[in-house]
């Protein structure tokens, strides 16, 4: 289906400011983002900072849940393994997978892999449905400018 919207003020996916400006997609039921980090996000010698890596994983996990369930959630737990360095200036894909839902708890996984397909980092997250976020207010903060009408209709019809 193509590009998902982004939350305008988010450091990771928002289109303005000094953040990562991740372009997250939903294609054939899979949420992913292809990205190449700028050197300004390094922790050491062109290696992305672990906080940036974790944030990318967290971000794709959130959109994986939203795309599949239309539920607004908050991260409760996030376990991350750093298997190989994620280098700035090299292309990677991060992809999420919804594992299961148990009442208000949603388990999700995500992994970052390079062009060779080898995982560089992977995470398991537990998210909880946010009780204090109004879907209608949330929707006003989303930027749909690069999103297809089909996608927009699908997301808004169930989140508002």
Given candidates 27, 39, 99, 153, which one binds other proteins under the rule CB under 8 A?
A: 39
Q: Between 49 and 88, how does the x/- string for binding to other proteins read (CB under 8 A)?
A: xxxx-xxxxxx--------------xxxxxxxxx------
Shortest gap between Cβ of 35 and other proteins (angstroms)? Answer: 13
Q: Which is nearer to other proteins, 16 or 150 (CB)?
A: 16
Per CB under 8 A, 109 contacts other proteins: no
Picking from 95, 126, 94, 122, the residue whose alpha carbon sits closest to that of residue 108 is: 126
Q: Which is nearer to other proteins, 43 or 114 (CB)?
A: 43
Q: Which is nearer to other proteins, 1 or 70 (CB)?
A: 70
Contact 128, 105 (CB under 8 A): yes
Given candidates 4, 6, 10, 151, which one binds other proteins under the rule CB under 8 A?
A: 10
Shortest gap between Cβ of 80 and other proteins (angstroms)? Answer: 5
State the DSSP string of the chain. -EE--EETT-TTT-SSTTS-----EEETTEEEEEEE--GGGEEETTEEPHHHHHHHHHHHHHHHHHHHH---EEEEEEEEEE-S--BTTSEEEEEEEEEEEETTEEEEEEEEEETT--EEEEEEEEEEE-SS--HHHHHHTEE-TTS-HHHHHHHHHHH-
Q: How far is CA 72 from the centre of its chain?
A: 13
Per CB under 8 A, 95 contacts other proteins: no
Shortest gap between Cβ of 71 and other proteins (angstroms)? Answer: 14
Q: Looking at the chain, how many residues does it have?
A: 160
Of 113-142, binders to other proteins (CB under 8 A) are 133, 141
Residues that bind other proteins (CB under 8 A): 7, 9-12, 17-19, 39-45, 49-52, 54-59, 74-82, 133, 141
């Amino acid at each position: 289906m193509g590009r998902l919207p982004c939350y305008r003020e988010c450091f990771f996916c928002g289109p303005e400011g000094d953040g990562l400006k991740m372009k997250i997609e939903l294609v054939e039921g899979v949420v992913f983002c292809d990205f190449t980090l700028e050197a300004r996000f390094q922790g050491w010698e062109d290696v992305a900072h672990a906080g940036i890596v974790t944030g990318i994983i967290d971000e794709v996990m959130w959109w994986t849940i939203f795309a599949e369930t239309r539920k607004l959630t908050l991260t409760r737990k996030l376990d991350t393994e750093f298997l190989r360095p994620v280098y700035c200036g090299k292309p990677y894909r991060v992809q999420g997978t919804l594992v299961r839902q148990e009442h208000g708890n949603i388990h999700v996984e995500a992994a970052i892999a390079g062009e060779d397909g080898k995982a560089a980092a992977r995470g398991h997250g537990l998210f909880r449905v946010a009780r204090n976020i109004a879907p209608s207010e949330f929707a006003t903060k989303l930027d749909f400018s690069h999103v297809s009408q089909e996608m927009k209709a699908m997301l808004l019809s169930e989140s508002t």
